[in-house]
Chains A and B, each alone.
Chain A
Amino acid sequence: MPYGPHTAADRERMLAALGLTSVDDLFADIPEALRAGRLGLPEPEPELELAGRLQGLAARNRTDLASFLGAGVYRHWSPAAVDQILLRGEWYTAYTPYQPEVSQGTLQSIYEYESLLAELVDLDVVSASHYDGAAATAEAALMTCRATRRERVLVSAAVHPHYRQTLATYFGGGLELQTIPLVADGEAAGTTDLAALARMLGDGQPVAGVVAAQPNFLGLLEPMAEIGQIAHDAGALFVSVIEPVSLAVLAPPGAYGADIAAGEGQPLGIPPQYGGPYLGILASTEGLVRQIPGRLVGMTTDVRGQRAYVMTLRAREQDIRRDKAASNICTNQALLALAASVYLATIGPHGLRDVAAQGAARAARLEAALAAVGVPRVHPGAYLNEFAVRVPDARAVHRRLIERGVLAGLALADALPEEPSLADALLVCATEVTTDDEIARFAAGLAAELAVHDHLPPAAVAAEASR
Chain B
Amino acid sequence: MAIKTIVRASKRSAPVTGQRVGRKPWGAIFIFIAPAMIYYTIFVLYPLAATFYYSLHKIAPLGGKLVTTFVGLQNFTEIFKDEIFFRAAGNTLLWGGVGPAVEMVVAIALAMLVYFHVPLHRFYRVAWFTPILVSGVIVGLVFRWIFNFDWGIVNAGLRAIGLDQFALNWLGRRDTPIWIVIFVHFWSTFGYSFVLMLAGLSAIPGELLEAAYIDGASKLQAIWSVLLPLLKPTAVTVLILSFMGKMHAFHVVWVLTNGGPIHFSETVATYVQKRAFGWNTFDLGYPSAISVVWFGLTVIGVGLISRWLKARAEG
A and B bound? Answer: no
Identify the B interface with A (CB < 8 A).
none
Identify the A interface with B (CB < 8 A).
none
